[in-house]
Amino acid sequence: MDFQLTDEQRALKTGVREMLARRFDATALRAAVDGGGLDRGLWRALGDAGFFALRLSEEAGGVGLGLPEAVLLFEEAGRALLPGPLIATQLAAGLVEGAAEGATVVTAPDGGLVEWLAEADVVRGDATGAEPIRSADPLTPLHRLPGGGAGGSPERALLTAAEQLGSAGRSTELAVQYAREREQFGQPIGAFQAVKHLCAQMLVRTEVARAAVHAAAVTGDPVEIAGAKLLADEAAVRCARDCLQVYGGMGFTWEAEVHLHLKRAWLRRERWPTPARGRELQAAALEEAM
Amino acid sequence: MDLSYTPEEEEFRAGLRKWLAGVLPTLPPKPDPLDWPGRRVYDTGWQRRLYDAGYARVHWGASATLRLIFLEETERAGAPYVGANFVGLLHAGPTIAAEGTEEQRARWLEPVLRGDEVWCQGFSEPDAGSDLAALRTRAVRDGDTYVVSGAKIWTSHAEVADWCELLVRTDPDAPKHRGITWLAMPMDAPGITVRPLRTLAGSDEFAQLFLDEVRIPVGHRVGAENDGWRVTMVTLSYERGTAFVGEVVACRRVLVEIARAAHKNGTWDDPVIRHQLGALNAEFTALWRLIQWNVSESERSGGPPGVGGSVFKLRYSHARQELYDAAAAVLGPDALDLGREWTADRLSSLSYTIAAGTSQIQQNIVAERILGLPKGR
Ligand SMILES: Cc1cc2nc3c(=O)[nH]c(=O)nc-3n(C[C@H](O)[C@H](O)[C@H](O)COP(=O)(O)OP(=O)(O)OC[C@H]3O[C@@H](n4cnc5c(N)ncnc54)[C@H](O)[C@@H]3O)c2cc1C
């Protein structure tokens, strides 16, 4: 047993982080927030980098890696607030023409919502009757489906959890950075225990979620995946909330990155399984074990 | 990311399982939880069996993975917990193994492994709890002897212990972290008064120690004089590192039992209770994975468990309290019946956010040592 990342996995993570820093920097993020629509050039670049073909076998022209590697990739995507129906497109690689290469944008309904419906080339699943709504997340245009959402797939849930994990880590990092730099009463606010303890709990939540998400990626067990999403949802939302608190008034501005993490985390929480559903699934697993 | 075990590790697991299946039915009945002398006999008797079967050494010599398997399997099989051997096996033992001289290791380690000697921990004092380095128990050198006077408190298992790992102040003029020394004190030395202290759970599991010119040979010092703080940090990292592995396995078992009880009395139909239990299932699964993560990390670094132990302890102590709160929600009025196992366990779970470094102190550690936030004043 060696639950740590392998050297290759570390290299993959670093590689993706650097690629995203280059291709989706602060300026690109701002442009996307201000309603830039989906950047097809970026989508292509992700395709070229193997983002969508990661889990496709090498014979089929893919990279041939597994769920653990996909989880690392989506962690980085979540951390960078990368926009677009990334998960639906990766899951369509090899099934929908052009998805693997980043030539086709694929979306799919999830939890009563459809992301990027107007911009997508292909919709997998039933989006009949979907009505546009004014999305609370400036980075994700949304349609609302009549009625609630149907079920979902464990793979989608796991990759969503990975995005949440990346976002939780980023919110923690932002809060800690700010707490070190911002001074009040003649000292960095991070010297105040009230702030310090918020930050410590952010790290704890993130690390517990990380253990859950990574283990679920290794076992692929649906119950463990549902549990991982439950913890990752909580980590992403709570960490963004606490980050906002550490940022003070600055956290309430449009300009700071903080609200983008919170809004996206809220959105991902609505994907299957929602926390309420996840707790039911866990309860059902307990019944099994009885 | 690899969660599989090697063939040797699986072989170890299979052998242990087989041995446990044979030996557990032959154990004497469990003593009353409030009967400490009885518990000592029971706990050390179990340790002796482990020793004779070759499993005693798993706490120090073996790899962290074997230790993990050992703790997982013994708990799963319902084997006795370390109990009175806790300090010897998980605090003092590892400290002596890491910092003691050859002679000291030969003198003290074997008896702990064989279950012949029980240790207690005399660190905290009435005025030095979280601020442990403020401790004032004085040790004055008199030739080859330290003469020790002062008071200790919250000393678990003091009444049944043979030895005490004792922190004393040897240099009152040095900065507080630099004047501390680690001593092994024989509990039968003249000048020691043990006054039992009743816990809120009603047991006398800890005590106050009054030390009046207790004479301790200089040879009982582990590490250099005034270097006790560093030696202590080694001990504490073990305490927060792997000490709770078996308990997490136990919590997962208890959770299933609580779900069963909820089914039986109908509270399972209450979605609030069902969701609470479901959330705890995800929580304890994740905590188990976090343990595996921490163990892998310490296997890689080769040293004592890292600060990851603080992350774990913060979350686990809280989860354990929630577990028994959930049990109480299921029990309803029966949660007030001390005859119920979960009622007693709920009471003892209250100590988890206090003992071995309070949650506030753990948060300071995480914030300052992992996140690099400035030290508070
Ligand atoms: C069941 C049990 C068994 C124990 N066994 C042993 C044993 O065998 N040997 C031994 O030596 N000790 C033992 N202890 C003692 C234990 O280590 C101390 O109780 C613990 O370290 C806290 O110290 P204190 O009780 O003096 O609380 P205090 O330090 O007085 O703390 C009181 C409150 O103030 C908070 N606080 C204190 N300092 C800070 C700070 N810097 N920042 C923020 N908050 C702060 C604490 O978090 C706590 O909420 C045991 C305790 C228990 C409950």
Q: Which residue's CA is the closest to the ligand 1 atom numbered 45?
A: B360
* pLDDT of A270 over the 80 cut: yes
Q: Does A182 touch chain B (CB under 8 A)?
A: no
State the Cα–Cα distance between residues A214 and A171, nearest whole angstrom: 19
Q: Is residue B121 within 8 Å of residue B155, measured between CB atoms?
A: yes
- What's the confidence (pLDDT) of residue B171? 97
User: Is a pLDDT exceeding 70 seen at residue B238?
Assistant: no
Residue ranges of chain B that CATH labels 2.40.110.10? 119-226
The stretch A249-262 carries a mean pLDDT of 97
pLDDT at A234: 98
User: What is the rounded CA–CA span in Å between residue A131 and residue A125?
Assistant: 15
What ranges in chain B are assigned the alpha helix state H? Answer: 7-23, 36-52, 64-76, 86-87, 93-99, 102-114, 228-241, 245-265, 271-301, 308-331, 341-349, 359-365
Contact A205, A272 (CB under 8 A): no
DSSP secondary structure code for residue B89 in this structure: I
Tell me whether residue A262 is exposed, middle or buried, using C-beta atoms within 10 angstroms of its C-beta: 0 to 12, 13 to 18, 19 or more: buried
Report the percentage of chain A scoring pLDDT > 70.
100
What's the complex ipTM? 0.95
Q: What CA–CA distance (Å, rounded) separates A30 from B213? A: 71
Check CB contact of A256 with chain B, cutoff 8 Å.
no
Position A77 scores a pLDDT of 98
Radius of gyration from C-alpha coordinates of chain B = 21
What distance in Å separates the CA atoms of residue B152 and residue B141, rounded to the nearest whole number?
Answer: 20
Judged by a CB distance cut-off of 8 A, whether residue A161 touches chain B is no
The answer as to CATH 1.20.140.10 being correct for domain B240-370 is yes
User: What average pLDDT does the structure give for chain B?
Assistant: 93
Say whether B372 and A217 touch across the interface (CB within 8 A): no
pLDDT tens string A176-218: 999 999 999 999 999 999 999 999 999 999 999 999 999 999 9
Q: Which two tokens stand for residue A276?
A: 């309420």
- Confidence band of B302 (pLDDT split at 50, 70, 90): low
- Check CB contact under 8 Å for A211 and B289: yes
Token pair in block for residue B353? 């956010």
Tell me the CA–centroid distance for residue B154 and ligand 1, in Å. 9
CATH of domain A154-289: 1.20.140.10
Please state the rounded mean pLDDT for residues A256-269.
97
Residue B240 pLDDT > 60: no
Residue B219 clears pLDDT 90, i.e. is over it? yes
Kindly report, residue by residue over A51-61, the tens digit of the pLDDT: 999 999 999 88
pLDDT of residue A288: 94
CATH number belonging to the domain at B7-114, selected among 1.20.120, 3.30.2300, 1.10.540, 3.40.50: 1.10.540
Kindly report whether the peptide bond that precedes residue A273 is cis, defined as omega within 30 degrees of 0.
yes
- Contact of B308 with B297, CB cutoff 8 Å: yes
Q: Copy the structure tokens of residue A193.
A: 């225990």
**pLDDT higher than threshold 60 for residue A154:** yes
In the block, tokens 């997340």 appear at A137
pLDDT at B241: 58
Question: What's the DSSP call for residue A109?
Answer: -
Contact yes or no for B203/B151 (Cβ under 8 A): no
- Put simply, whether B336 touches A (Cβ < 8 Å) is no
Residues on chain A touching B307 (C-beta within 8 angstroms): none
Cβ atoms < 10 Å from Cβ of B345: 18
Q: Does domain A7-144 have CATH number 3.40.50.11610?
A: no
- Interface list for B 8-67 with A (CB within 8 A): 9, 65
User: Which CATH code, of 2.40.110.10, 2.10.10.100, 3.30.420.40, 3.40.50.1980, is assigned to B119-226?
Assistant: 2.40.110.10
Confidence of residue B239 (pLDDT cuts 50, 70, 90): low
Residue A184 per-residue DSSP state:
E
**What is the structure's pLDDT at A152?**
86
Closest-CA residue to A168 (of A239, A227, A100): A239
Q: Which of B70, B373, B375, B377 to mutate to test the interface with A (most CBs of A within 10 A)?
A: B373
Q: Which residues of B touch A230 (CB under 8 A)?
A: 279, 282
pLDDT on residue A168: 98
Inter-chain contacts counted by CB atoms under 8 A, chains A and B = 173
In the predicted model, is pLDDT for residue B304 greater than 70?
Answer: no
Contacts of A226 in chain B (CB under 8 A): 282
B243 at A interface, C-beta within 8 A = no
Of A140, A170, A148, A125, the C-alpha closest to A261 is A170
pLDDT per residue as tens digits for the range A111-152: 899 999 999 999 999 999 999 999 999 999 999 999 777 778
For position B65, what pLDDT does the model report? 87
CA nearest B44: which of B60, B28, B58, B67? B28
Segment B145-172 shows an average pLDDT of: 97
CA of B354 to the centre of ligand 1 (A): 5
Cβ pair A126, A117 in contact under 8 A: no
> What span, in angstroms and rounded, lies between the C-alpha atoms of A181 and A184?
10
Supply the pLDDT for residue B307.
67
**What is d(CA A175, CA A245) in angstroms, rounded to the nearest whole number?**
9
Domain map (residue ranges) of chain A: 7-144, 154-289
Strands B145-156 and B138-142: antiparallel
- Pocket around ligand 1: residues whose beta carbon is below 6 Å from it? A 193; B 121-124, 129-130, 154-156, 206, 351, 354-358, 360-361, 364
- For residues B254 and B60, the model is more confident at B254
What span, in angstroms and rounded, lies between the C-alpha atoms of B129 and B167?
12
* Angle at which helices A275-289 and B271-301 cross, to 10°: 80
C-alpha span between B364 and A195 (Å, rounded)? 10
**Cβ neighbours, 10 Å, residue B204:** 15
Q: Which is more confidently placed, B66 or A151?
A: B66
Residues of A (211-230) whose Cβ lies below 8 Å from B: 211-212, 214-215, 217-219, 224, 226-228, 230
